[in-house]
Amino acid sequence: MKCGRKQAILKAVILSTAGDRKPEGVGKITRYLSNAFFYLGNGMAKEYAKAFYNSKAWQQAREMALMRDRYMCQCDGCTNVAEEVHHKIEITEKNINDVKVTSNQDNLVSLCSECHKRITKEAHRKQKKILQAITFDERGYPIALPPG
């Protein structure tokens, strides 16, 4: 299913449901789409994180974030349906077992697929710039490279 069609279907389901309760079927659809995103090779789930993303704890934390955000993308100006939940502090091998990072609602934000890809790409680009701007002296201590 193309992204535009998927967005339209999800948005119609959400907008047709009144109140704060979870729109019927949306959790199941977004959970399916999220799992498909990671396992079709389009996602960014690392091998060490796959068990976490399949866990009940993640499914519950993810669902709570989507419900809190009313299944809408939280990027300024975006009106798309949120299909994914982003970790503000990225999950790494070192913090994969830290619930303050992996499941804390303050570290989670609901995003549409387009915004999630853009935000993740920007974050990785910034990390790469920082790493490229650091070198090591003869004693192994990090030093910043001069600009340019």
Residue by residue, pLDDT tens for the chain (148 residues) are: 445 555 555 555 555 554 445 545 555 555 544 444 443 334 557 899 999 999 999 999 999 999 999 999 999 999 999 999 999 999 999 999 999 999 999 999 999 999 999 998 888 787 766 555 566 677 777 776 666 5
**Distance (Å, rounded) from C-alpha 45 to C-alpha 47?**
7
Measured in degrees and rounded to the nearest 5, phi and psi for residue 104 equal -70, 125
Which residues form the domain of 40? 3-112
Q: Which pLDDT belongs to residue 148?
A: 55
Domain count, the chain: 1
Q: Which pLDDT belongs to residue 125?
A: 81
**Distance (Å, rounded) from C-alpha 72 to C-alpha 110?**
7
Answer yes or no: is 64 within a domain.
yes
**Residues contacting 46, CB < 8 A, separation 6+:** 93
Answer yes or no: is 120 within a domain.
no
